[in-house]
Structure 1
Amino acid sequence: MPRIQSVVIHCRDPYLLAPFWSLATGLPIHPDDVKSLSSHSLEDDESVLLGAREGFHVWITPADELKPAGRIHLDVTGADDDLRSLLKAGAAVVRELPHWTVLSDPEGNEFCFVPAVAHSGSSTT
């Protein structure tokens, strides 16, 4: 049966988005990429790995052209403190709905924050 192995997030600035999405997903920046991020030594088209290839992981991948928002986005869940952490890290509130909040990452990619207590449904934004 097919399964999701990874998610790829295209971006302009992996130095900005890798730490943000590491916080948002709870996936650590892979040790091989920590040094490259801290020294700003990524190759022009080099991706940053969040998590480990052996399990579910996220790639933060620079792209020459960013297409308009797609038909798939991420939902993240957590406590109120997690929402405040995302906002402090550069997320912006796009709109608040009864059971979740639509946010955008520092480059404008939209995703939903679903409070842990209201996680019984999925978003439809």
Structure 2
Amino acid sequence: MALRPVQVNIKALDASAVGRFWAEALGWSAYRPGVTTYVGPAGGLVWPDPVAVGVDVVPVPEPKTTTKNRVHLDLATTSAAHQAELVACLKALGATPAHVGQGEVPWTVLADPEGNEFCVLEPREIYRDTGPIAAVVVDCADPRAMARFWGEAMDWTLHEVTDDQAALRSAKGVGPYLEFLRTPGVKTVPDRVHLDLLPYPGDDKAAEVARLRALGATDLDLGQGDVPWTCLADPEGHEFCVLAPS
């Protein structure tokens, strides 16, 4: 039994506009399967995508606070020229420079039109085959503990773990990494960005949720009401959802 991450969930006042931004940013397409805007590889909606972790932009009535998100995306580039071109393109689409205490670094920190921070990385060999999303990055206090929980929760392979960072990736060696970075501060507001996980065909969602609780996940009431997915929080309080198999 295991789960797989199928999408990054981003809350937005204007889900259509933010979805269009991310579609342009990633070179993907925006789809409207319902009230949300799903961003995935071009060529027609395929869900779940066999390789990519998509982006699902969900409309909410509350704007983002000034507090930095503790989950963000890192975008991959193939050259210094590509990085510069992508940053210029993103700014033209409505991204703005973001200051999160990064200092002098080779990557560029931006925010999408509703203030969700993300990074445009300098070329790195490790991300040469991830696609446009290099990594989903989670701020945390204990990367080792996060790696243990998420490594048990999902069927992804642990690639690195230290006191300062941990990284997992699909056992097939495709798509983005899931990374945990030791970061000062503690979680104080609900995450604007979180992961959605999906059981494999034939697996029992209720059994998977029970397994996650046994690993240290806790139930989460966000006012979601009676919905087919289950809202949980990991041991450091990061929200995530377990979706119902279609």
Q: TM-score, normalised by structure 1?
A: 0.71
- Equivalent residue number for residue 192 of structure 2: 71
Q: Distance in 2 between matches of 1:23 and 1:13?
A: 16
Q: Distance in 1 between matches of 2:168 and 2:213?
A: 20
- Equivalent residue number for residue 55 of structure 1: 175
Answer yes or no: is the 8 Å Cα contact 2:138–2:180 preserved in 1.
yes
Structure 1: give runs of 5+ residues left out of the alignment.
34-41, 118-125
Answer yes or no: is the 8 Å Cα contact 1:77–1:114 preserved in 2.
yes
Q: Distance in 2 between matches of 1:116 and 1:23?
A: 20
Aligned residues: 106
Residue pairs, 1:101-116, within 5 angstroms:
101-116=230-245
> CA deviation digits over 1:6-34, x for unaligned, max 9?
1011111122111111233321211x43x
- Equivalent residue number for residue 87 of structure 1: 213
The structure having more radius of gyration, on CA atoms, is 2
Answer yes or no: is the 8 Å Cα contact 2:144–2:165 preserved in 1.
no
Which stretch shifts more, 51-60 or 85-94? 51-60
- Equivalent residue number for residue 36 of structure 1: none
> CA deviation digits over 1:33-86, x for unaligned, max 9?
3xxxxxxxx34xx21111178631100111112353331111111133322221
Report deviation, 1:107.
0.9
Report deviation, 1:97.
3.4
Q: Distance in 2 between matches of 1:54 and 1:94?
A: 31
Q: Report the 3-state secondary structure (helix = DSSP H, G, I; strand = E; otherwise coil) of the residue aligned with 2:220.
A: strand
- Name the structure where helix makes up a greater proportion of residues: 1
Answer yes or no: is the 8 Å Cα contact 1:27–1:57 preserved in 2.
no
Name the % identity.
29
Q: Distance in 2 between matches of 1:6 and 1:25?
A: 16
Q: Distance in 1 between matches of 2:210 and 2:168?
A: 21
Tell me which amino acid in the other structure corresponds to 1:15.
Answer: R
After the TM superposition, list the runs of 4 or more consecutive aligned residues in structure 1 that deviate by more than 6 angstroms: none
Tell me which amino acid in the other structure corresponds to 2:240.
Answer: F
Residue pairs, 1:19-58, within 5 angstroms:
19-30=148-159, 32-33=160-161, 42-43=162-163, 46-51=164-169, 55-58=175-178
Answer yes or no: is the 8 Å Cα contact 1:10–1:63 preserved in 2.
yes
Answer yes or no: is the 8 Å Cα contact 2:140–2:236 preserved in 1.
yes
- Name the structure where strand makes up a greater proportion of residues: 2
Over aligned residue pairs, what C-alpha RMSD do you find?
Answer: 2.3
Structure of greater relative contact order (alpha carbons < 8 Å, 6+ residues apart): 1
